[in-house]
Amino acid sequence: MSKKASVERVTEFHGNDLDDLCEATDEAILDGSGFGWLRPPARPVLESYWKGVLLVPERELYVARLEGSIVGSVQLQVPAPNNEAGAHTARVSTFFVAPWARGHGLARGLMSDLEASARRQGFKFLDLDVRATQTAAISLYESIGFERWGVQESYALVNGEYVAGYYYSKDLEKTRKRRRNGKKSKSKQAEPAT
Ligand SMILES: CC(C)(COP(=O)(O)OP(=O)(O)OC[C@H]1O[C@@H](n2cnc3c(N)ncnc32)[C@H](O)[C@@H]1OP(=O)(O)O)[C@@H](O)C(=O)NCCC(=O)NCCS
């Protein structure tokens, strides 16, 4: 990551943070980023969404900054307390970097921080799903050890056409053992510290 690029967890918004995050979200949606919205929602809706994220105890929000401004995000979603049977698995969501801020290593940085937090909390798996058309994200996920286990042909409905979706998991215990045994990971990137 270059000096002007950084990644951090946020628990409250300061200064222009919320505006910048909404602006980056709009740009990613217009670019076909693939997380939920097909068109940018009205600004108050988007602001409420992001403010809401910070209120949910089961969500950790990580943001990417370029020269101090928020340009991307990812969320770690941990299971609700009632989900005892699923307590070993956390999820990745709202992963994007605004088109103009790509190529600085910010996405790798976001995933690295998210994964480090999941490991610290003892999760055994990280799950995610992604539209099959999101080739940059897919390439990144596979390079850091996510394995595709499923395809859903009707995953998203975009302009009246179905877009397939891929389901991925990363086995955090397997990759931890591999590191402990000193074997080289298939991943291009070093695993985040536990
Ligand atoms: C995926 C995305 C977050 C990458 O953001 P970025 O900040 O440019 O990524 P980085 O600079 O950290 O690059 C990390 C890796 O992503 C992959 N990648 C990034 N851009 C790529 C491209 N155009 N084509 C193929 N792979 C690409 C590469 O594996 C790259 O690693 P490398 O630089 O060692 O080759 C960004 O392209 C994006 O927001 N896409 C749309 C949103 C999206 O698809 N989200 C996933 C929804 S689940």
By percentage, how much of the chain surpasses pLDDT 70? 89
Question: What is the structure's pLDDT at 1?
Answer: 77
Mutate to test the pocket of ligand 1, among 26, 73, 135, 140 (most ligand atoms within 8 A of CB): 140
Q: Which residues, listed in sequence order, are joined to residue 69 by a DSSP beta bridge?
A: 66
**Fold annotation for 5-180:** Aminopeptidase (3.40.630)
| Long-range contacts, stretch 156-159, CB < 8 angstroms, 24+ apart | 156/34, 156/131, 158/32, 158/38
Question: What is the structure's pLDDT at 192?
Answer: 37
Report pLDDT digits (tens) over 53-68.
999 999 999 999 999 9
Q: How confident is the model at residue 190 (pLDDT cuts 50, 70, 90)?
A: very low
Question: What is the structure's pLDDT at 186?
Answer: 43
Question: What distance in Å separates the CA atoms of residue 163 and residue 28, rounded to the nearest whole number?
Answer: 18
Residues with CB under 6 A from ligand 1: 28, 33-35, 95-97, 102-108, 130, 134-137, 139-140, 143, 188
Report pLDDT digits (tens) over 161-185.
999 999 999 999 987 766 666 654 4
Residue with the smallest CA separation from ligand 1 atom 12 is 105
The rounded Å distance from CA 84 to ligand 1 centre is: 33
Residue with the smallest CA separation from ligand 1 atom 18 is 136
Q: Is the pLDDT of residue 156 over 90?
A: yes
Question: What is the structure's pLDDT at 34?
Answer: 66
The rounded Å distance from CA 97 to ligand 1 centre is: 8
Span 138-145, average pLDDT: 98
Q: How do the domains of the chain map onto residue ranges?
A: 5-180
